[in-house]
């Protein structure tokens, strides 16, 4: 990939956390809503968000997304939002209790994997993954598998010519 270029996200995605599958074993995925201000929504529509170091926690019976960076919206000037403020996640009570139990019992964490707009009224959504951290040897194994698959594809492509 050329230096300085960003890889495009999937259709409809605003931002994706490609590091998540490298750093964690993603066990389960959940879709949840996100409470945003107007300038945050406008900035998201421009694709100016970064998920890399973000994570979710459950506090006082509510789910919160921490570390998500949404760039300030240019035309808003003084009425802008705080780029890294905690944002409330919209989940059903039963889902929150289930996630709380899973994260406490097994030492799992909640990692956002992507932000996208969904639905007929185009609401901002976050895909959360219940994840377990990988050890160093697991990360090396992931790299080894990816490189092997790439080599096989290259050989198949060259053989068909």
For the chain, give every domain's residue range: 13-134
| Percentage of the chain exceeding pLDDT 90 | 25
CA distances, 70 to each of 4, 46, 52, 74 (Å)? 20, 10, 12, 12
Residues 53-104: pLDDT tens digits? Answer: 888 999 998 999 999 898 888 887 788 887 888 999 999 999 999 888 888 8
Q: Which backbone phi and psi does 140 adopt, to 5 degrees?
A: -65, -40
Dihedral sign from CA coordinates of 46, 48, 54, 58:
negative
Q: What is the CATH number of domain 13-134?
A: 2.40.280.10
**pTM for this one?**
0.74
């Amino acid at each position: 990939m050329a230096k300085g270029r960003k890889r495009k996200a999937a259709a409809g995605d605003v931002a994706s956390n490609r590091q998540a599958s490298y750093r964690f074993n993603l066990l389960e995925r959940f879709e949840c809503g996100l409470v945003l201000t107007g300038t945050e929504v406008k900035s998201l529509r421009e694709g100016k968000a970064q998920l890399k170091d973000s994570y979710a926690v459950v506090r006082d019976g509510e789910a919160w997304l921490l570390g998500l960076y949404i760039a300030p919206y240019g035309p808003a000037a003084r009425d802008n939002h705080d780029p890294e403020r905690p944002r409330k996640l919209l989940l059903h009570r039963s889902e929150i209790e289930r996630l709380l139990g899973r994260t406490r019992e097994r030492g799992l964490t909640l990692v956002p994997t992507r932000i996208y707009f969904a639905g007929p009224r185009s609401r901002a959504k976050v895909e959360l993954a219940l994840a377990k951290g990988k050890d160093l040897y697991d990360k090396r194994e992931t790299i080894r598998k990816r490189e092997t698959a790439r080599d096989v594809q290259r050989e198949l492509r060259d053989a068909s010519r």
